[in-house]
Amino acid sequence: MLTSEEPTLQKVKTTSSPSKTLKVAIDGPAGAGKSTVAKLIADQLGFLYIDTGAMYRAVTWLVVQNEISTNDEAAIIELVRTAKILLKPGDKTSHQLARVFVNGKEITKQIRTQEITKLVSPLSAIPAVRAYLVEQQRNMARQGAVVLDGRDIGTVVLPDAEIKIFLTASAEVRAQRRFRELKTLGDESVDFDTLLKDIVERDERDTNRAIAPLRMADDAVLILTDNMKIDEVVSHIIALCT
């Protein structure tokens, strides 16, 4: 387990540039700080960042918009097959979160609501939805040096990724982070205890689903972020990449 005092990585850090095709896979449970860390790493190394959770959220938003029941797998699959999901780099308008477009409409804010957050987990357990999105993620990853974050990147999407990270933190710390994130996004109705309960439930579902469950790859580096600052996590991972 990594602590902020761990000195070894500073010693092995070199000044060499990372390869132009390096793949960095960052997995972990909800609220571990994956997207913040992944974006900073991608920015610093000049890599493309792909927020795969945002893609599952986009599909979920589309299902809700089309008033399709989350049990109606055939209708969901049809909808997903025809959806055009586009990710753009985050900016000030999106509080640095990836900007997400579906069929030409920007839905960056809409996919972060508690309603979508609740529905995305069961929806992402549908095998055909995963198959379709995983294929898109692999195609995006072929574009060059990339950082992908999600639940199954190191195990399923990019099992050959050179750098695999499993980023995690206690459920309480993760709930606090989500609480602050939602407040920043302007959600005043957010309640900490509900968030904590939702995170525990989502962990449970993401970890125990039959297909591509949340699991640390055998060759991943575990980083427990409870007592770490974001820049410590980022420099730790960058040291592994260079």
Residues 126, 202, 237, 241: which binds ligand DC (CB under 6 A)? 202
Which DSSP string corresponds to 94-156? GTTSPEEEETTEE-TTGGGSHHHHHHHHHHTT-HHHHHHHHHHHHHHHTTSSEEEEESSIIII
DSSP notation for 202-234: HHHHHHH-SSS-S---TTPEEEE-TT--HHHHH
76/206 with CB nearer ligand DC: 206
DSSP string, 144-199: SSEEEEESSIIIII-TT-SEEEEEE--HHHHHHHHHHHHHHTT-TT--HHHHHHHH
Q: What gap in Å lies between CA 58 and CA 83, rounded to an integer?
A: 9
Pick 52 or 108: Cβ nearer ligand DC:
52
Residues 101-120 that bind ligand DC (CB under 6 A): 120
Tell me: does residue 198 bind ligand DC (CB under 6 A).
Answer: no
174 interacts with ligand DC by CB under 6 A: no
Q: Tell me if 195 sits within 8 A of 179, measured CB to CB.
A: yes
- Bridge-based pairing of strands 221-224 and 99-102 is unpaired
Q: Which of 36, 108, 121, 225 binds ligand DC (CB under 6 A)?
A: 121
CB of 80 vs ligand DC, minimal distance in Å: 14
* Among 24, 26, 30, 167, contact with ligand DC (rule: CB under 6 A): 30
Query: H or E element: which one contains 65?
Result: helix 52-65
Which residue, 8 or 95, has its beta carbon nearer to ligand DC? 95
* Interface stretch with ligand DC, choices 48-56, 84-92, 102-110, 227-235 (CB under 6 A): 48-56
**28 belongs to the binding site for ligand DC (CB under 6 A):** no
* Closest approach of ligand DC to the CB of residue 134, in Å: 8
Q: Which is nearer to ligand DC, 56 or 61 (CB)?
A: 56
Q: How far is the CB of 7 from ligand DC (least distance, A)?
A: 31
Closest CA to 102 of 75, 119, 84: 84
Interface mask toward ligand DC for 138-167; x: CB under 6 A: ------------xxx---------------
Which of residues 108, 124, 168, 225 is near ligand DC by CB under 6 A?
124
CA–CA separation, 230 vs 173, rounded Å? 13
Binding site for ligand DC (CB under 6 A): 30, 52-53, 56-57, 120-121, 124, 150-152, 202, 206
